[in-house]
Structures are given as structure tokens and as C-alpha cells.
Amino acid sequence: SQEAIAEGAVLLRGFARPFEAELIADLHAIVAQAPFRHMVTPGGHQMSVAMTNCGSAGWVTDRSGYRYDSNDPESAKPWPAMPSSFFRLAAQAAAQAGFNDFAPDACLINRYQPGAKMSLHQDKDELDFGAPIVSVSLGLPAIFLWGGLKRSDKPRRFPLKHGDIVAWGGPARLVFHGVAPLADGEHALLGRQRINLTFRKAR
């Protein structure tokens, strides 16, 4: 099923389900090379979401700022390559949502354990806001917060479940968004966590 949640934002419920086994196997291999870690914001706060990356560019934050880096700062080695299962799913979902020829070079992998949240923010560390962003939700359900173009716009709440994909582009690309604190639970494939794959064209 396909719903427009706002101008430029398309929700594909369950789109990732046929890929789940391959995605989870590939995820485990990535995390073995580049473990999840809690990064620190430029303001000095440790994030409640743990992160890692795959692809030629990885999103990182530390006291010196937010940026994309070709290497994992923990190992000084390149981030693991983006598995073809990840790339194909992101490109297929983007095309289904009306964004043709999406070629992500960055996949940020977010891990939410119960209580973890992401405050309202914009994604604006990428070179070209013309490319969409594709996000894949796996594991425990979460409440996604969808704001406006001003931080003060009151967010709407959307439940995102295992297998749901959202593609955001055009007028939705710079909207403020976040995730409410994760409720506890147990997912059959992933246990007590939510994993979000965020595909972007960074460079």
C-alpha cells in the first residue's frame, strides 16, 4: 500500500518485508566490521540512538561538528561497502515513490533501544537537496514525528512499523522530523530494538 503523508513524502507500508532476511544478515555483517556506537553532538551530548554506517560516505558527529566521512573514526578504516540488497531496496522504493535513478552513497544505520529518541532536526549535511532520502524501519514500532519547515511547527505523529519505508523529497526534503522515545517490546526477528536504515546521496 502507498500513502502520501505530505507533499513529497510517500509511505510504503511493508515494502521491505520480502527483503527482511537478506537485510538482517547483511546488517549483522556490517555491525561486525563497524560496531554501533553512541556519538556525541557538537554541544557535547551523547546521543541515545546508537549508530553505524555503510557506503562510501558515513554520517558522523563529534565535538567538532556533523559531517560525512569516508572512514569510520573508531577504526580509521573505510566504512563497510553498501550491500547490494540495501542499494537495490532503496532504489526500488524510491522509484515506486516517484523518485527515479536514486543512487545513495550513504546509509546511516540507527539503533533504538527502549527509551531512545531523536529530537526534531533537519537533514542538511548533504551536498544536493535535490536527491530524496529513503528510510527503512525494522524491528520494534516507533512514532515518527513529522513537523514543518520551522522548528516551531507542531509535529504530526505517524506510527512506523517493521518493513515500512518512507521516501522524502522535493518540498518534504528539509522538513523538521524526529522519533518519539521507543516503547519497550520484543520483535520476533530483532528483539528489543528498532533499526532504521537512512539512505542518502551525501556527495
Binding residues for ligand MD3 (CB under 6 A): 108, 110, 118, 123, 133, 135, 166, 168, 172-173, 175, 177, 179, 196, 198
Ligand-binding annotation for 198, yes or no, is: yes
Residue number with the smallest Cβ distance to Fe ion: 123
Ligand-binding annotation for 125, yes or no, is: yes
Nearer to Fe ion, 162 or 200 (CB): 200
Q: In whole angstroms, what is the distance from residue 41 CA to residue 47 CA?
A: 7
Number of residues that bind Fe ion (CB under 5 A): 1
Ligand-binding annotation for 153, yes or no, is: no
In the list ligand MD3, Fe ion, none, the entry touching 51 (Cβ below 5 to 8 angstroms by class) is none
Q: In whole angstroms, what is the distance from residue 146 CA to residue 10 CA?
A: 13
CA of 199: how far to CAs of 27, 64, 83, 108, 143, in Å? 14, 24, 12, 7, 19
Q: In whole angstroms, what is the distance from residue 106 CA to residue 125 CA?
A: 12
Nearer to ligand MD3, 87 or 110 (CB): 110
In the list Fe ion, ligand MD3, none, the entry touching 118 (Cβ below 5 to 8 angstroms by class) is ligand MD3
Q: Up-side HSE of residue 182: CA atoms within 13 Å toward CB?
A: 27
Edge to edge, the sheet with strand 106-112 lists 2-6, 9-12, 165-168, 133-139, 194-200, 106-112, 50-55
- Closest separation in Å from C-beta 122 to Fe ion: 7
Please tell me whether residue 123 binds Fe ion under the rule CB under 5 A.
yes
Supply the DSSP string of 30-84, one letter for each residue.
HHHHS--B--B-TTSPBPSSEEEEEES-EEEEETTEEEEESB-TTTSSBPPPPPH
Stretch that binds Fe ion, among 9-17, 20-28, 123-131, 145-153 (CB under 5 A): 123-131
In the list Fe ion, ligand MD3, none, the entry touching 162 (Cβ below 5 to 8 angstroms by class) is none
- Closest separation in Å from C-beta 32 to Fe ion: 26
Nearer to Fe ion, 33 or 48 (CB): 48
Sites of contact with Fe ion (CB under 5 A): 123
